[in-house]
Structure 1
Amino acid sequence: MTQPTSAPADLSPELVAAAAESKAWPFEEARKIVKRYEGGDWPAAVLFETGYGPSGLPHIGTFGEVARTTMVRHAFRVLTEDKVPTRLLCFSDDLDGMRKIPDSVPDRTALEPYLHMPLTAVPNPFGGEHGSFGHHNNAMLRRFLDTFGFDYEFASATDYYRSGRFDDILRRVAERYDAIMDIMLPTLGEERRATYSPFLPISPKTGRVLYVPMKKVDAENATITFDEDGEETTLPVTGGNVKLQWKPDFGARWAALGVDFEMFGKDHGPNMGVYDRICEALGGRAPEHFVYELFLDENGQKISKSKGNGLTIDEWLTYAPTESLALYMFQRPRQAKKLYFDVIPRAVDEYYQFLAAYPKQDWKERLGNPVWHIHSGNPPAIELPVSFALLLNLVSASNAHDKGVLWGFISRHASGVTPESHPELDRLTEYAIRYFDDFVKPTKVFRAADEVEAAALQALADTLAVLPSDADGEAIQNAALDVARGIERYQDHKKKSPTGGPGVSVAFFQMIYQVLIGQERGPRFGSFAALYGIDNTRALIDKALKGELLAKPA
């Protein structure tokens, strides 16, 4: 996956013209930013921002926000012919208090004394060089973003508040305190309204982030006065002595930094208007927004950093290339999608299918092709003679535990294809073995063939025996279809065969995979048998008919 660190790869007139009309969502969002400055002067740099709450380890949704924002940024650069400077700021809310202990930490009880402390003041439960929980999680985020080569700047709320970079906006919040309260109070319940303040003092006694009502807000001196354990305390709002509640913090940050574009998940959608109004009340201009749907785990629950449910970044990359993850982020961002291990194989194969289609497309089609956005306009030329789904089934049938076995089949099937000539395919063989061992193998359930199925499989073996040993996938698939058409159980009268008779039910191929592979489904049978080899496929059928596969542990 390549991200823009210099000028876009191609700014031909054809590309720029197609970009102006493209319906791809990154271009639709980029056009909002172009319109934002229509008839006016451009800023020194258009600022794209993403936010990160380091209350837990970064998850895939965190990466997705940066990847998607980068796609919009690149689309904007093409629309403006790269004449307008841009920046991407990844902002970590690491001064937030730790309101609950994440489930994902190794020793939850060790963190109990640090509840409500700023995340950068909570000891690092993972040990190592990073002194706090917040710094550790920030480092994990940066490590991953750096691995992908994202062009970004990292910002820490702790640093911004304590260094004085937010002092001016904090003074303005004190000056316009009543206006901020007028925006916030109608959004709160009666009990919360009674004690609410946009300012959260950081206790000079305990270091905790305090949720306490204000006794006085002194705009002239930029101080707040509150009670802590019965003792009246006055603090300046500057210098890192306070932070803002999360809704005012959004709007104040936008106003302070001049943010032009920020996307966020649907859970922030209802508050978007509040953020905007606070930004405007503080003299800023609300940025352009893009609200995306949330990722769900396999049970349909929202993925949460603190719960640690769903997939982690590292887990996805254990079983699939980075580009497949970027594709999953690009596709249907406004549609809720489950994000768990079962989605990986399809994402891998779809990525390479889009990549194969790209050279044959015109500019309009290319700009709608995810790989253009994933690779910032410069997709690589990669030939992949074997799909990931086929590799998984090859591992299953051959019981391969190292890629050398797989390459024996691949090289015999595709002349001249070697690990050296096709390094991308070589990489996929490693992923396929890992994925199979961890997710497919434990769920494999072979079943015995009944009388009709046994006869069908024997007929299939006999038919394969008369085919040339180097028959291609299409010839094998057609031979299998011919077998199925002669068996009443597998005739589908709603379909028509090329000769006008009934078509073949999908139940025929489902049976093949259930009996031979121990799985509910698989790739196109002809392609699998061509790769595995006709003799090996016939031997597999023979083992199934003798019951030998049933005796083997999955």
Structure 2
Amino acid sequence: MSDSASSLAHDWRLAAQNAKSWPFEEAKRILNRIDHKTPSKGFVLLETGYGPSGLPHIGTFGEVVRTTMVRHAFQTLSDIPTRLFTFSDDMDGLRKVPDNVPNQEMLRQHLGKPLTQVPDPFEKYESFGHHNNAMLKRFLDSFGFEYEFQSSTECYKSGRFDEFLKLVLVHYDEILAVMLPSLREERRQTYSPFLPICETTGMVLQVPIVSRDIDAATITYREEGTGKLIEVPITGGHCKLQWKADWGMRWRAFDVDYEMSGKDLIDSVKLSSQICRIIGGRAPENLTYELFLDELGQKISKSKGNGLTIDEWLTYAPEESLAYYMYQSPRKAKRLYFDVIPRAVDDYLTFGSKFANQPKEDQVDNPFWHVHGGMSLTAESGLNFGILLNLASVCNADDASVLWGFVTRYQPEASPEATPFLNKLITYAIAYYRDYVKPKKQYRMPTELERQALVDLKTQLAALSATAKAEEIQAIVYQVGKNHNFVELRAWFAALYEVLLGQTEGPRMGSFIELYGIPETIKLIDEKVTEVA
């Protein structure tokens, strides 16, 4: 590390001592857990889990990005090495066919088999599990995450888990005592933490265990139909664990220090933590985050494919805005659908615009710092996403050059080369307008009161200099609304949006008119007033 980089790291560490943002609070919990000393394994281990039974979705990504934020906060506070495992439970049996994948009839024929033994319905990878793992890694890699991918199939089959599977066998009765009270009566009759893999069908079996041999490290079950006793090793990938037992065993095997999980897994965390302790481990520090909801307030599901996908978000907004959305209040439930994108982009831009002028003590609590992995950055100056969306809307733009024509007049130093982030925002704004705003646009005729106010606004704007700034324009817009005795100014602005832009919500009009141009705005008002004159 260079002297300047070392000095900057020292400055960040001092600034972070009293940081209150949630990633630093979590990092301090980890430091307290290890008593500010390097663990015997030589590093602090953070883990995220992924169930590849469906295509990766934004909730999956959210867990990784949030855990990465905690990791960066920890690295700011301490020199103790860290690692991040992203674990895929790809040996789990396929329980149902996801709604949003092809070749569903083919998949039904493989229900119950480990995901890495189910053919890929997309016909690109050696299995469905490999396909979904590849999709997850592709996205995480595109974000530049530092992580180590771990496959359940590989860990079981390579023998990496063998030692710890034997511990589960030794403590079999104690684990049953923990698990059975949490199960329905009929499930208790057949429950075992071990799930044999049938050598004939390849299926993951949920069958009662007739006997177990600790010395031989085997279990015996009765084959359905024939009644034949089948003895199988618990090691080498011949069995896997039920997932709560698997989770606790994995924490013990890897010696995980930190893992967050959704609110729906609170009880599972408690049970897995008990199992981890029974086999001699220490459960990790845990943050329980709220679940993402779709537009209707329903939980987002991989199998249903509701809510936004990762690719959909990145079609309409930059990746930084997605990371910012994930940063916000992880313990609060948030709806995740198309309407949240513009607000997330603009909030990210707002925090970025404040960053450079803040003291370091405030920068470390600025979401912009956490989104960018603790780097000291200067946000690129530019226009917000809402303004660009409305510019695209009023211009009916499908070509970035149209918007750039307005932008360069407003901000002469800007160009696709000089301001690449702004260039990306323009591209995203056009895509969002084309696919989401344009189909819903619905202009209405102004009332007589609104028509008179619009004519007055046109007259007032015509008296301004063509280079008038947003604040001066905004003051005139306000005054016109007051002069025409609208019951409330909100109704005046709603009229501007609905009559001029064909939408129910819109931008700060002063800023929009400055960007769009006073002559162009006058022409727009003329067109709408003339339509009913």
**2:38 touches 2:44 (CA, 8 Å); kept in 1?**
no
**1:99 corresponds to which letter in structure 2?**
R
**1:464 touches 1:538 (CA, 8 Å); kept in 2?**
yes
**1:215 touches 1:227 (CA, 8 Å); kept in 2?**
yes
1:144 aligns with 2:139: yes
CA offset digits 1:184-205 (Å, max 9, x no partner): 1111121111111000010011
CA offset digits 1:511-536 (Å, max 9, x no partner): 10000001111110011111111111
Q: Secondary structure at the match of 1:155?
A: strand
1:538 aligns with 2:522: yes
CA offset digits 1:312-345 (Å, max 9, x no partner): 1111001110000000000010001011111111
One of 70, 77, 82 as aligned partner of 1:72 = 70
Residue number in structure 2 paired with 1:181: 176
Tell me, in whole angstroms, the C-alpha distance in 1 between the residues paired with 2:203 and 2:70. Answer: 38
**1:175 touches 1:220 (CA, 8 Å); kept in 2?**
no
CA offset digits 1:172-220 (Å, max 9, x no partner): 1111101111111111121111111000010011000001111012112
Tell me, in whole angstroms, the C-alpha distance in 2 between the residues paired with 1:61 and 1:153. Answer: 19
**1:537 corresponds to which letter in structure 2?**
T
**2:207 corresponds to which letter in structure 1?**
V
Shift of 1:231: 2.1
Tell me, in whole angstroms, the C-alpha distance in 2 between the residues paired with 1:532 and 1:379. Answer: 33
Residue number in structure 1 paired with 2:480: 483
Change (3 A) 1:321 1:211: same
Unaligned runs of 5+ in 2: none
1:204-223 alignment runs, 5 A limit: 204-223=199-218
Change (3 A) 1:11 1:471: closer
Question: Structure 1 length normalisation: TM-score?
Answer: 0.93
Residue number in structure 1 paired with 2:413: 416
Tell me, in whole angstroms, the C-alpha distance in 2 between the residues paired with 1:317 and 1:444. Answer: 23
Q: Secondary structure at the match of 1:66?
A: helix
Residue number in structure 2 paired with 1:4: none
1:308-347 alignment runs, 5 A limit: 308-347=305-344
1:329-408 alignment runs, 5 A limit: 329-408=326-405
1:464 aligns with 2:461: yes
**1:11 touches 1:78 (CA, 8 Å); kept in 2?**
no
**1:524 corresponds to which letter in structure 2?**
R
CA offset digits 1:136-192 (Å, max 9, x no partner): 000000111111111110010000000100000111111110111111111112111
Tell me, in whole angstroms, the C-alpha distance in 2 between the residues paired with 1:385 and 1:322. Answer: 17
1:250 aligns with 2:234: no
Q: Secondary structure at the match of 1:261?
A: coil
1:443-522 alignment runs, 5 A limit: 443-490=440-487, 492=488, 505-522=489-506
1:426 aligns with 2:410: no
**1:8 touches 1:376 (CA, 8 Å); kept in 2?**
no
The Cα RMSD (Å) is 1.6
Tell me, in whole angstroms, the C-alpha distance in 2 between the residues paired with 1:509 and 1:78. Answer: 46
1:120 aligns with 2:104: no
**1:255 touches 1:284 (CA, 8 Å); kept in 2?**
yes
Change (3 A) 1:539 1:548: farther
One of 433, 436, 439 as aligned partner of 2:433 = 436
Q: Secondary structure at the match of 2:339?
A: helix
Shift of 1:59: 0.5
Shift of 1:399: 1.1
One of 19, 24, 27 as aligned partner of 2:24 = 27
Shift of 1:386: 1.4
Tell me, in whole angstroms, the C-alpha distance in 1 between the residues paired with 2:143 and 2:161. Answer: 30
Residue number in structure 2 paired with 1:56: 54
Shift of 1:306: 1.1
Tell me, in whole angstroms, the C-alpha distance in 2 between the residues paired with 1:548 and 1:34. Answer: 69
Change (3 A) 1:46 1:528: same
Q: Secondary structure at the match of 2:259?
A: strand
**2:324 touches 2:348 (CA, 8 Å); kept in 1?**
yes
Tell me, in whole angstroms, the C-alpha distance in 1 between the residues paired with 2:8 and 2:166. Answer: 45
1:190 aligns with 2:185: yes
Tell me, in whole angstroms, the C-alpha distance in 2 between the residues paired with 1:211 and 1:250. Answer: 17
Tell me, in whole angstroms, the C-alpha distance in 1 between the residues paired with 2:389 and 2:513. Answer: 13
Shift of 1:548: 8.4
CA offset digits 1:250-281 (Å, max 9, x no partner): 10000011011001111111222111110000
**1:532 corresponds to which letter in structure 2?**
Y
Residue number in structure 1 paired with 2:35: 38
**1:382 touches 1:424 (CA, 8 Å); kept in 2?**
no
One of 93, 98, 104 as aligned partner of 1:102 = 98
Tell me, in whole angstroms, the C-alpha distance in 1 between the residues paired with 2:159 and 2:13. Answer: 42
Change (3 A) 1:119 1:187: same
**1:8 touches 1:74 (CA, 8 Å); kept in 2?**
no
**1:203 touches 1:209 (CA, 8 Å); kept in 2?**
yes
Shift of 1:384: 2.8
Q: Secondary structure at the match of 1:530?
A: helix
1:260 aligns with 2:244: no
Q: Secondary structure at the match of 1:424?
A: helix
**1:125 corresponds to which letter in structure 2?**
P
Paired positions, count: 527
Q: Secondary structure at the match of 2:286?
A: strand
**1:122 corresponds to which letter in structure 2?**
V
Tell me, in whole angstroms, the C-alpha distance in 1 between the residues paired with 2:304 and 2:333. Answer: 19
Tell me, in whole angstroms, the C-alpha distance in 1 between the residues paired with 2:439 and 2:498. Answer: 15
Shift of 1:14: 4.1
Percent sequence identity over aligned pairs: 54
Tell me, in whole angstroms, the C-alpha distance in 2 between the residues paired with 1:366 and 1:216. Answer: 60
**1:116 touches 1:209 (CA, 8 Å); kept in 2?**
yes
Tell me, in whole angstroms, the C-alpha distance in 2 between the residues paired with 1:440 and 1:39. Answer: 52
**1:51 corresponds to which letter in structure 2?**
G
**1:390 touches 1:528 (CA, 8 Å); kept in 2?**
yes
Change (3 A) 1:470 1:254: same
Shift of 1:110: 1.5
**1:92 corresponds to which letter in structure 2?**
S
CA offset digits 1:458-493 (Å, max 9, x no partner): 111111111111111111111112211211225x5x
Q: Secondary structure at the match of 1:288?
A: coil
